[in-house]
Amino acid sequence: MSFCRACVIGHPVAHSRSPLIHRHWLAEHKIDGDYVREDVPPEKIGSFLASFATSGYVGANVTVPHKEAAFRAADRTEPVAVALKAVNTLWLEQGRLAGTNTDVYGFLAHLDETLPGWDKRTGIAVVLGAGGAARAVVYGLIDRGVGRVLVVNRTRSRAETLAAEFGKRIAPADFADLPQHLKEADLLVNATSLGMTGQPPLDIDLACLKTGAAVYDIVYVPLETPLLASARARGHPVVDGLGMLLHQAVPGFERWFGIRPKVTTVLRSRVAADLGSKEHAR
Ligand code: ATR
């Protein structure tokens, strides 16, 4: 295989851990390639993607704020990207731009790995948030047969839109009614940015949460969010956001470089260390 290069497109993109993840796999598999950051401002994203086929890259990840632009620019998109109206992984097919969304895969793969059989135990899930990340979470939960998904969001209209798009098993709900919903929930997912370093805290009380319910926080800075710490202290199974980040990178690497890489404890430790976390592979 000749030298291959992929990139992550975002704005800003300096914070992205994708180069660390993909370079780890390139070295592990002794592949002659590279993975770099491309900081593309919004006014340039259209022309950047239009000429992607001649850029020398074999493919790309796409992050905030360009996932919707990548969806529009792709000549062919997989059904999951159509449902989410967002693309986070691009590759070339005979010079044409193809795209998918691997956030759903990443969310589910990490959940399956951490809590095998979770789907058989989950009748009701509560999802906090109704933005792009929440769309991927809700899509994944419905896809895996969860019977009822309550979407709780500050801006109720966004939760209503999500429910209208994704079907009868989704229902919008209010923060005020959260204690009551938590009593019945088998799984609680934080898909807001609350609790992330530099963002406001996620101020919810887990006292009402059903015994044994799992808690998944897609925030990974800090790795152990206050939500996860509180859930762990109460004896709930917890799932952190770092695994989702690592797993969502797998399908892109396979497309570009021809080998399906593994999410190992070594990789997890490297990225956790880079995030400045004291925690290492578990
Ligand atoms: P992403 O693509 O990462 O999901 P997003 O689309 O901006 O980003 O969504 C961020 C989510 O966090 C939204 O659900 C947002 O709520 P709104 O739809 O009401 O904006 C939620 N969020 C962000 N800051 C918040 C805050 N201070 N209080 C409550 N919810 C907040």
Tens digit of pLDDT for each residue in 128-164?
A: 999 999 999 999 999 999 999 999 999 999 999 999 9
Q: What pLDDT does 180 receive?
A: 97
Strand ranges in 112-158 using DSSP code E only, listed in sequence order: 124-128, 148-152
| 36 lies in the same domain as 88 | yes
Ligand 1, atom nearest to 67 Cα: 2
Domain residues for the domain of 223 are 105-243
Q: What is the pLDDT of residues 54-79, one digit of tens each?
A: 999 999 999 999 999 999 999 999 99
Residue nearest to atom 23 of ligand 1 (CA): 193
Mean pLDDT of the chain: 96
User: What's the structural domain count of the chain?
Assistant: 2
Q: For residues 178 and 135, what is the distance between their CA atoms, to the nearest angstrom?
A: 19
Q: Which helix (H) or strand (E) holds 82?
A: helix 79-84
Of the candidates 150, 202, 208, the residue with the CA atom closest to the CA atom of residue 179:
208
| 237 lies in the same domain as 182 | yes
| 160 lies in the same domain as 45 | no
Residue 276 banded pLDDT, cuts 50, 70, 90: confident
The reply to whether 67 belongs to the active site is yes
User: What CATH number corresponds to the domain at position 239?
Assistant: 3.40.50.720
* Two structure tokens written together for 123: 């009748």
Q: What is the pLDDT of residues 241-250, one digit of tens each?
A: 999 999 999 9
Q: Measure 220 CA to ligand 1 centroid, in angstroms.
A: 16
Ligand 1, atom nearest to 200 Cα: 27
Q: List Cα–Cα distances, 101 to 227, 252, 282, in angstroms.
A: 27, 10, 27
| 77 lies in the same domain as 119 | no
Q: Average pLDDT of 231-239?
A: 98
Of the candidates 60, 90, 57, the residue with the CA atom closest to the CA atom of residue 76:
90
Strand partners, 34: 5
